[in-house]
Amino acid sequence: MIKRSEVETGREAAVDLLKKAHIMLSDAERMSLEVADFGLTNWPAEGSQIATIVNTDRIGLKLICLLPGQTLPEHWHTAIGDTPGKEETLRVAYGTLRLYLPGVEMILEGRIPEGKEPVYTCRNEVILRAPEQITLIPGTKHWMQGGAEGTVVYSISSAATCPLDPFTDPTIKRMPEIMEGT
Ligand code: ZN
């Protein structure tokens, strides 16, 4: 559960970061900007702010806004029925992205959220600064974290299957539940 007040704070912070990235949103995009806690009730440590710009049966374009040190939990994009797993390119629009992939254990700049070591298995740190980008082939496990000044990342992908994509942490609920009046 995420509090209504946290949703509002998250949206404002995301709009600020987007301004720094010189990215404009329409009113409708701003109103629908998702503030996610992934059901962990640990926002802003584990969470993210996501604006969906394009989401068709074939392609997706999202803007992922991360607060300083905020972590988007480990997940991967698998095939669902006839829909192949999502291929995703991450391109940094503002700040520094800490991205974690399978491979040699090496974490220098970022950190695993406290007490969550078992559900953050990717330990190979890749630091990307605007305007660097990386393409992840479908099925690659990954998690990411905002840099010291906050981070804006374009996620350019084939058809988004996000609501069904698996996370390593079994307690995650992808669709946010907002606690009104708080
Ligand atoms: Zn992803």
Q: What is the pLDDT of residues 13-43, one digit of tens each?
A: 999 999 999 999 999 999 999 999 999 999 9
Predicted TM-score (pTM) of this structure: 0.94
Q: How far is the CA of 142 from the centre of ligand 1 (A)?
A: 7
Only one residue has tokens 């010291």, namely 148
In angstroms, what is the span from residue 122 Cα to ligand 1's centroid? 13
DSSP structure class, residue 80: B
Q: Which residue matches tokens 């391109």? A: 91
Q: Do 14 and 51 contact (CB within 8 A), yes or no?
A: yes
Say yes or no to pLDDT of 66 above 80: yes
At 146, list the tokens: 């905002």
**What are the tens digits of pLDDT across the range 101-125?**
999 999 999 999 999 999 999 999 9
Question: How many A from CA of 181 to the centre of ligand 1?
Answer: 31
